[in-house]
Amino acid sequence: MIRRYRIRDSLGVHARPAAKLVKALASIPGSVVIEYDGRRVNAKSILEVMSLGIRGGESFALECEADQIDALDRVDVELLDILSSE
């Protein structure tokens, strides 16, 4: 299952939103991957998420297994809030 998100914060994914993103995704069992600019990293690792340098206005994909879709649905609203504020 892949979902795309656009960063509306002009500062991009810096330390604070990265930490909130990782914390929100921690509730999803199994692995979750972020793909951005041709790179794929563990979405539950703040260092790996920050290493992507996702800029404001850019989009990225979150990928998880099909059986994790309900868990992703539960955190989706929280993710949208994290990625559009700060």
Q: What are the extents of the domains in the chain?
A: 2-84
Task: Decide which of 3.40.605.10, 3.30.1340.10, 3.30.1330.60, 3.40.50.300 is the CATH code for 2-84.
Answer: 3.30.1340.10
Which tens digits make up the pLDDT trace of 54-65?
999 999 999 998
DSSP for 28-79, written as a single string: SSS-EEEEETTEEEETT-HHHHHHT-PPTT-EEEEEE-GGGHHHHHHHHHHH
pLDDT at 76: 84
pLDDT at 84: 67
pLDDT over threshold 90, residue 85 = no
* Residue scoring higher pLDDT (45 or 8): 45
Establish whether 14 is a catalytic residue. Answer: yes
Q: Which of 14, 19, 68, 78 is catalytic?
A: 14
pLDDT over threshold 80, residue 46 = yes
pLDDT at 72: 86
